[in-house]
Structure formats: structure tokens, C-alpha cells
């Protein structure tokens, strides 16, 4: 039986069903997200501090995609065998290093030392973390050498090597490590050696920079040596001394690295696969040390030769001054004698006396000049 809708509701007791309000889809998703458990709510992505240049997890010689916070990177590396974190820092402050030390389990003293700059090359082990410090070097281009020219710019880089991480901390403008990371990522077979592969790559890069700077400095020394004895454009002693000071700073960066590098090879902490490579780095470092020591000796020779040349020039000037003073003394003597108030003197009453005395003075000057010229005083 067909019954009208309103009549059927009265007869059978039907009630009108309320239609739900229409909720916008975006607002509905927001409410649904609030009703989820706390662990399912998406968390905002953490950002690294400004001192972090790069942070990545490496496994099997390859870099895992994505830029992770260093705390997340440590957790990801610990979940996989043979994975490690490479964290690159540039001039971090103490608070940043303190938080990084808490995540990586570093000693407090290691974190404080890493935050400071100006360290001497060293290699030491605290617990299971090895701290390797190297000096960086960069050649500063300049048109000509002056008393204030900066020839070599130096800094330092600290490498903290742990079981599943390596942290590189760089201070100064020299020694950027981005090329090191790019070259090492292009060699996955070497990257499988773990954190020590990064330590080797950094050492290799620093020694290459030493040899590169040494090549530029050698050309500067050749140009300085060429004009050291030039009469028209001899270098000032202050210029030579400034270059010597720059070489002292360069020598402080290169020479002290020999002992820490040898200590690492003797301790046996370097993996066997990387041992021959570090031996090669030690050999090239020895060549850089020899070149820097040779520069120092050459600069000492140029400086001593320039000082001797200055002394010779001063002696020559004194000879010239003495020669002209002797020539002038002859004229003064003759004029002084005839300036005496004596009545009886030869030539006083002679009408050619005055021209004769002038001729005598001229002849004496010419004779004395020729004599001094012949012996090299003029």
C-alpha cells in the first residue's frame, strides 16, 4: 500500500532523521588528525645549526639521499651495520659543539678543543675517538710584494674519528672540504673503508694544498731573486722580511704534521686498506717539508745578500761624498791662503795673479777628480 510520506510517519511513528552538517574536507582532516594518537601526528623537520655545512649517512660506499639532522643521522647509522655519519662543521661555537658532543658521545674536553681555533697539528685518542688536527693553507694572490702583503692564509681543521662517525671542524677561510666530499663520493670503493677513509681524504687534500701553495711561493721567490741585485729596482728589505714572516707561518703549518701522521701509522689504528695511501701522503708531505725548508734558506740568503748590498751602497756613497769633499777642500785651501792679511805673498802685485790662481784651482780639481775616478771612488 502506498501511503503519503507525512501520513505514514503519523501512522507508524516514524521520526524525521536529522541530516548531518556538511564539514569542509580540510577542516575534517584537521579534526581527524587531532583525534589520532600522539605518535602518529607528523612532527616538524628539525634543522641543523648554521655551523653545519653538510651531514650525511654513508652505507656501502654510497650516500643515503636526503639531508638529515645529525641526531637523526646517528640513529639511522646505528640501525645499519658498516654505516657511518659524516658531519661537516665550519667554525661552530661552544654551545653547538656541546649539543653535538652529547649526541655523538664525545668527551667534554674534545668538544671544547674542537670549538677553538689555532691548534697545532696533533693526533691523540680519547676512548674510542681519535682526534686529528691539521693546518690548512691557501695562497693569496697579489700583484706585487709589499711590506704588508699577505702571501699565505692559514687555518686549521679537526677530524674526529669514531666507530660509526667522522666529524670535520674547519676554522678559517682556507681548506674548504666540499671538494673532498665530492671526490670521495665519486670513489665508493674507498668510501667503504668507513670514517678513516674521510680522514685519509682530508690529509691528502691538505698535503695537496701545501704543494700547491709551495709552487706559487717558489715563483714569488724566483721573481724576488731576479730583482734582488738589480740597480734600478732593488727590493726593499721590508718586503723580503714580510715574505720571510709569511714563510714562517707556512712552515708552522707544514712541518709539525710529520710527527702526528707517523704516530697514526705506528699505532696500527689505520685500516689495512688505507695504510698504503697514508704512507703515500707521508711521502708527499716530506717533499713539501723539504721545499718549505729550502724556501727558508733561500730567503735567508736573499736577505743577507740584500743587507750586504745595502752596506756596499752606503760605502760607495760615503766614498763619493769624501771624494767631492776632497775636491772642494783644494779650492778652500787655496782661497784660505790668499785670504790671509799678509802684505808679502807671491803674486799679490802681479797683474795676472788672480787669473793664475783660478787656473791653479781648476787644474787641481781636474787632476784630483781624474785620480779619484781612476781608483773607483767616483
pLDDT at 235: 63
pLDDT at 83: 92
Domains of the chain: 5-40 (no CATH), 52-311 (3.30.460.20), 315-374 (1.20.58)
Can you tell me the mean pLDDT for 121-135? 91
Can you tell me the mean pLDDT for 238-247? 82
pLDDT at 364: 86
* Alpha carbons 269 and 322: distance in angstroms, whole number: 73
Which of the residue ranges 250-259, 326-335, 349-358 would you say has the lowest mean pLDDT?
349-358
* Contact present, 138 and 112 (Cβ < 8 Å): no
Can you tell me the mean pLDDT for 269-288? 91
Q: Sorting pLDDT into bands at 50, 70 and 90, what band is 231?
A: low
pLDDT at 17: 42
Does 280 have pLDDT greater than 60? yes
* Alpha carbons 71 and 62: distance in angstroms, whole number: 20
Can you tell me the mean pLDDT for 318-333? 86
* Alpha carbons 52 and 89: distance in angstroms, whole number: 5
Task: Tell me how crowded residue 133 is: count the other CB atoms within 10 A of its CB.
Answer: 20
Which segment, 112-121, 170-179, 208-217, 344-353, is predicted with the most confidence on average? 208-217
Mean pLDDT for the chain overall = 81
In angstroms, the Cα distances linking 41 to 64, 69, 270, 328 are 25, 19, 45, 104
What b/e sequence results for 111-123 when a residue is b if at least 16 CB atoms lie within 10 Å of its CB, and e otherwise? bebbbeeebebbb
Predicted TM-score (pTM) of the model is 0.71
* Alpha carbons 355 and 347: distance in angstroms, whole number: 11
pLDDT at 6: 44
* Contact present, 213 and 180 (Cβ < 8 Å): no
Q: Sorting pLDDT into bands at 50, 70 and 90, what band is 346?
A: confident
Amino acid at each position: 500500500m502506498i501511503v503519503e510520506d507525512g501520513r505514514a510517519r503519523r501512522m507508524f511513528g516514524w521520526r524525521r532523521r536529522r541530516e548531518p552538517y556538511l564539514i569542509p574536507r580540510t577542516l575534517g582532516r584537521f579534526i581527524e588528525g587531532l583525534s589520532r594518537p600522539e605518535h602518529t601526528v607528523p612532527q616538524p623537520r628539525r634543522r641543523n645549526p648554521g655551523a653545519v655545512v653538510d651531514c650525511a649517512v654513508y652505507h656501502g660506499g654510497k650516500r643515503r639521499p636526503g639531508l638529515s639532522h645529525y641526531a637523526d643521522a646517528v640513529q639511522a647509522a646505528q640501525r645499519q651495520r658498516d654505516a657511518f655519519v659524516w658531519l661537516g662543521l665550519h667554525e661552530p661555537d661552544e654551545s653547538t659543539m656541546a649539543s653535538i658532543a652529547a649526541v655523538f658521545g664525545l668527551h667534554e674536553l674534545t668538544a671544547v678543543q674542537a670549538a677553538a681555533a689555532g691548534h697545532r697539528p696533533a693526533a691523540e685518542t680519547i676512548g674510542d675517538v681519535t682526534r686529528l688536527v691539521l693546518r690548512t693553507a691557501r695562497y693569496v694572490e697579489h700583484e706585487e710584494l709589499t711590506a704588508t702583503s699577505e702571501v699565505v692564509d692559514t687555518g686549521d681543521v679537526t677530524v674526529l674519528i669514531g666507530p660509526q662517525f667522522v666529524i670535520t671542524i674547519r676554522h678559517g677561510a682556507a681548506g674548504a672540504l666540499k671538494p673532498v666530499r665530492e671526490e670521495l663520493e665519486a670513489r665508493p670503493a674507498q668510501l667503504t673503508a668507513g670514517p678513516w677513509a674521510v680522514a685519509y681524504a682530508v690529509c691528502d687534500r691538505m698535503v695537496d694544498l701545501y704543494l700547491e701553495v709551495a709552487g706559487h711561493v717558489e715563483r714569488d721567490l724566483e721573481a724576488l731573486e731576479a730583482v734582488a741585485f738589480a740597480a734600478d729596482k732593488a727590493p726593499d728589505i721590508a718586503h723580503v722580511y714580510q715574505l720571510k714572516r709569511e714563510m714562517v707561518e707556512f712552515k708552522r703549518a707544514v712541518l709539525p704534521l710529520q710527527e702526528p701522521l707517523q704516530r697514526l701509522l705506528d699505532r696500527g689504528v689505520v685500516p689495512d686498506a688505507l695504510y698504503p695511501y697514508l704512507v703515500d701522503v707521508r711521502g708527499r708531505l716530506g717533499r713539501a717539508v723539504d721545499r718549505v725548508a729550502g724556501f727558508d734558506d733561500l730567503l735567508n740568503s736573499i736577505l743577507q745578500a740584500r743587507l750586504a748590498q745595502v752596506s756596499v751602497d752606503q760605502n760607495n756613497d760615503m766614498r763619493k761624498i769624501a771624494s767631492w769633499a776632497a775636491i772642494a777642500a783644494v779650492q778652500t785651501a787655496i782661497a784660505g791662503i790668499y785670504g790671509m792679511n799678509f802684505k808679502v805673498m807671491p803674486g799679490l802685485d802681479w797683474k795676472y795673479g788672480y787669473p793664475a790662481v783660478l787656473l791653479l784651482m781648476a787644474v787641481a780639481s781636474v787632476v784630483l777628480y781624474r785620480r779619484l775616478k781612476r781608483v773607483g771612488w767616483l
